[in-house]
Amino acid sequence: MSINKKVIFEDWGLLDYQLAWDRQEAVFNKVVQEKTDNRNQHTDHPTHNYLVFTEHPHVYTLGKSGKHNHLLLDEEALAEKEASFYKVNRGGDITYHGPGQLVGYPILDLDNFFTDIHLYLRTLEEAVIQFLADYGIVAGRYPGYTGVWIDPDNERARKICAMGVRSSRWVTMHGFALNVNTHLDYFSNIVPCGIEDKAVASMQQELGHSLDMDEVKETLKHHIAQQFGMELIDHKTNNPENV
């Protein structure tokens, strides 16, 4: 097949989780259909890739392998917190999204990069690890779990970036949630990612000050593009960022 490493970048801003999910599904289905058409019509048209950044209002999401009792709030308490709850078709357990947290949805045809979900996750993790190093935050991986952690080798281990993906025909959706200026108290209402004895962290907490989200996005975009060998194209400006 024709290899296409161009990736369309879109920033959806602060967007309701259900609306973002619907948009994701539409883009995901479009790429899957492109692959199906190539197969059925014996064509070799390049498939599209997308990288989406967004933030969500307060919401808890439960993955396919998660346990409902890891949400510690009932419907009334959710309403008091002005938070919503969804069961979703990604891997992983329960997590929280909210303002100040950068959520990334790579919708990639991995046939354009590499067909290995484990390598895909490790590559996303590496991009976040290298990004955090730019801010003086030393991070790494916690054995047996996905995501990016601070102090992963001792009892103070705390997760700063959660990950959960879905893949069909090697097309990905869902992705990662990086705590930048996140209100961490919302995590006290869940068993984060099903891990009962570990804490969560944010860049703001680690550095002692809030960060400019636009700067964070630009820096993280660069590291993701670098790790995957992407050519990012901003959907608004149509200017390529060659890496």
> How far from the centroid of its chain's Cα atoms is residue 57's Cα?
15
Catalytic residue, candidates 193, 220, 225, 232: 193
d(CA 209, CA 220): 18
161 counts as catalytic = no
Residues marked active site are found at 193
